[in-house]
């Protein structure tokens, strides 16, 4: 939701004018405050972003959108260090940025390694010291982070367009890695990586009980510090379970569903909300709504990939509605399909090749940060929202990866996928029609994919060609500005 940026100059020239430019173009979202810091100075302000009153060859910038009352202006400075932190640490009571600043004091690498190996949460961080910038992100990688090199400058930022604005070529900071940028170049240290655990042998009823407990914890963590977060609600098993657990931990979620008139998500959402005894907000959209929103969606996604854009359309529309209600936190079921076998390709491989699908599923979980999480985070961030993903909780992730395949995927017949989630839903008392609703991808169940196809056809192009042309146009306009 907040945005961080950092620059270092190879020649030692002042980077603050370019850093100011980065913060100005970083996002369309408003800010509660902004700030700049170097190893020797720090300044904070509100309103229009101005150039800091100090000069430095290495500095950090930060735009804060406060999601929780304790979120404090950043960057922070202590000693000869500056720190910018975005995200959440689980089980802490002080502001997370202050905890992180204390950890990195004096030895930034050691402090960041401690965060990566000992502290659970969803976060990114960057430290500025004399002659270098360090940056890293948690091992799951829900929150995006990029670095870039170009000419005299090296930089780090929360999205790719912020780096492109100052002529840098963006590359992803991998989850669990520490990147160090110096005047001589950059180095990449892998500290910790998500691993595929050994499969556990436990009765299905015990597995359901443990899943119940872990989802309770994940919901509590994701809803900590906020009141009435918006839940992207399709009526599918993932969002239904999240609604139940968010309600159980007292979060009072606002269920929100979007789709074209007559799409399967709208009916399913109403049926599921009634079963949960919760109200649901239903919003329909049409071709004109998608065409009007498409440039904003492409700016957030930063790619013209048809699948990513198709999934982004309904999320953008839900997030836009939430932002209009002054909501600050969005919750989504993203990550469940990869963990629990939601895709039909898994069933095909399981039934034809057996246990090899376990590695396929783990690979998809391992790559989720680049395929799904970054897209969804940027969509929400550009609409004043912090995205929280209970299914990306590290403890839940490890447990789900360890489950036997037969608890997730059918070996034959037409049983629905994600079997253990459906068994849990039945245990919770949800009706069969809700617990066993078949899975359908969001871009299809909401109607977004067909609208993109019609828009492309009207232009005489493929969907990929149409989106690529729109993206090129957006970037040309940005360069002219």
pLDDT at position 451: 93
Positions of the chain with pLDDT lower than 70, given as ranges: 1, 413, 439-442, 444, 480-481
Q: What is the pLDDT of residue 439?
A: 66
CATH 3.60.20.10 in the chain is located at: 3-190
What is the per-residue pLDDT for 31? 86
Taking only the tens place, the pLDDT of each residue in 46-98 is 999 999 999 999 999 999 989 988 899 999 999 999 999 999 999 877 789 99
Q: What is the DSSP string of 284-325?
A: E--HHHHHHHHHHHHHHH-S--HHHHHHHHHHHHHHHHHHHT
Euclidean distance between CA atoms 214 and 83, whole angstroms: 32
What is the percent of the chain where pLDDT is above 70? 98
Domain with CATH 3.40.50.620 in the chain: 204-464
Q: Kindly report, residue by residue over 202-250, the tens digit of the pLDDT.
A: 999 999 999 999 999 999 999 988 889 999 999 999 999 999 999 999 9
Sign of the CA dihedral with 206 first, then 212, 215, and 217 last? negative
Residue reference for tokens 């492409």:
298
Classify the phi-psi angles of 367: left when phi > 0, otherwise alpha if psi is within -120 to 50, otherwise beta: alpha
Fold of 3-190: 3.60.20
Entry pTM: 0.95
What is d(CA 427, CA 212) in angstroms, rounded to the nearest whole number? 10
What is the chain's length?
481
pLDDT at residue 481, rounded to an integer: 65
Between CA 363 and CA 191 the distance in angstroms is 19
pLDDT at 440: 65
Residues 316/413, Cβ–Cβ less than 8 Å: no
The CATH superfamily holding the domain 204-464 is: HUPs (3.40.50.620)
């Amino acid at each position: 939701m907040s945005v961080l940026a950092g620059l270092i100059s190879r020649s030692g020239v002042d980077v603050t004018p370019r850093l100011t430019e980065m913060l100005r173009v970083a996002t369309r979202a408003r800010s509660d405050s902004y700030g700049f810091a170097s190893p020797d100075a720090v300044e904070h302000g509100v309103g229009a972003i101005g150039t800091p009153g100090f000069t430095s060859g290495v500095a950090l910038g930060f735009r804060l959108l406060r999601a929780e009352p304790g979120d404090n202006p950043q960057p922070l400075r202590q000693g000869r260090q500056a720190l910018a932190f975005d995200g959440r640490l689980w089980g802490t009571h002080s502001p997370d940025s202050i905890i992180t600043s204390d950890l990195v004091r004096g030895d930034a690498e050691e402090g960041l390694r401690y965060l990566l190996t000992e502290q659970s949460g969803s976060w990114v961080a960057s430290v500025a010291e004399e002659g270098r910038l360090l940056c890293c992100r948690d091992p799951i990688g829900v929150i995006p982070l990029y670095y870039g090199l170009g000419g005299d400058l090296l930089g780090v930022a929360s999205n790719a367009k912020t780096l492109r604005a100052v002529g840098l070529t963006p590359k992803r900071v991998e989850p669990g890695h520490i990147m160090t940028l110096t005047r001589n170049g950059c180095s990449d240290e892998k500290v910790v990586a998500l691993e595929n655990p050994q499969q556990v042998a436990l009765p299905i009823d015990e597995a359901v009980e443990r899943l119940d407990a872990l989802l309770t914890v994940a919901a509590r963590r994701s809803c900590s510090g906020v009141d009435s977060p918006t839940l992207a609600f399709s009526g599918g098993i993932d969002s239904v379970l999240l609604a139940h657990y968010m309600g159980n931990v007292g979060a009072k979620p606002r269920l929100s569903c979007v789709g074209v008139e007559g799409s399967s998500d709208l009916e399913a959402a109403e049926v599921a909300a009634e079963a949960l005894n919760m109200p649901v907000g239903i919003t329909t959209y049409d071709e004109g709504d998608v065409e009007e929103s498409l440039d904003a969606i492409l700016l957030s996604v930063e790619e013209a990939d048809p699948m990513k854009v198709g999934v982004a359309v309904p999320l953008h529309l839900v997030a836009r509605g939430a932002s209009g209600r002054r909501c600050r936190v969005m919750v989504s079921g993203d990550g469940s399909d990869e963990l629990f076998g939601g895709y039909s390709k898994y069933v095909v491989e399981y039934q034809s090749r057996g246990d090899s699908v376990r590695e396929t599923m783990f690979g998809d979980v391992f790559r989720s940060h680049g395929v799904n999480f970054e897209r969804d985070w940027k969509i929400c961030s550009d609409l004043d929202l912090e995205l929280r993903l209970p299914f990306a909780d590290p403890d839940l992730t490890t447990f789900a990866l360890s489950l036997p395949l037969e608890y997730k995927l059918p070996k034959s017949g037409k049983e629905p996928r994600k079997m253990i989630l459906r068994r849990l839903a039945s245990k919770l008392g949800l009706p069969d029609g809700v617990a066993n609703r078949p899975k359908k991808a969001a871009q299809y169940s909401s109607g977004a994919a067909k609208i993109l196809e019609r828009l492309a056809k009207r232009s005489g192009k493929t969907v990929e060609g149409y989106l690529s042309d729109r993206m090129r146009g957006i970037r040309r306009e940005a360069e002219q500005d």
